[in-house]
Structure 1
Amino acid sequence: MSATDTTLSQSLRAALRQVIDPELGMNIVDLGLIYRLDIGPQGVALDLTMTSPACPLGEMILQDVESTLRAALPADTAIALNLVWSPPWSPALMSPEARQHFGWAD
């Protein structure tokens, strides 16, 4: 990954911290819902999951992710969002700050 891609990746992750899982009141990055963020010549590809396959607000979160990425990227950038279930999400994927927020600190 080039220095430019690294900077863009960091910028996109910062932007995605504005996307909140409304059930948990925490951003999707610190919850560990972002599994992969690739930047390439074809655009940006993002693999993400939900805390549960039965998440009633999953579609809303996906829409928020897409609009956040569109606002942060040039208009002609292709965005591929992939909702994945493997590996299953668990609290172990959360940032230390998120685990502490929920009282699950190590």
Structure 2
Amino acid sequence: MLGVAASWVVQVSIEVYRFFISVFKSNDEDKEVDTPEQVRLLGQKIALTSIRCSSSLVFASIGAGIGATLILPSLGQWIGCAAGDLVGPIIVAFCADKAFQVTL
């Protein structure tokens, strides 16, 4: 859980940093930038990052349970947890892209 939380903090920090850099650069160059649109996109990116990280935890738990049932308890739990942790965000990202057709 700590690894996923750290990943979320880093990803959100990078997106917020990019947002502020783009806003400050646009003010320096006197270009018109749609700030409300930029804020909306930032909100979408943070929401998708939160969903991906949460799905990582959920799918890791599901994978650990399935792996412990199908394989030896300790080894199966480890393998299932790792597989769920890797596959969960991919499944959610794919479904989110299909459902929302977000252009980031």
**Higher RCO structure (Cα 8 Å, ≥6 apart):** 1
More strand per residue: 1
Give TM-score scaled by structure 1 length. Answer: 0.29
Structure index of larger Rg: 2
More helix per residue: 2
Give TM-score scaled by structure 2 length. Answer: 0.29
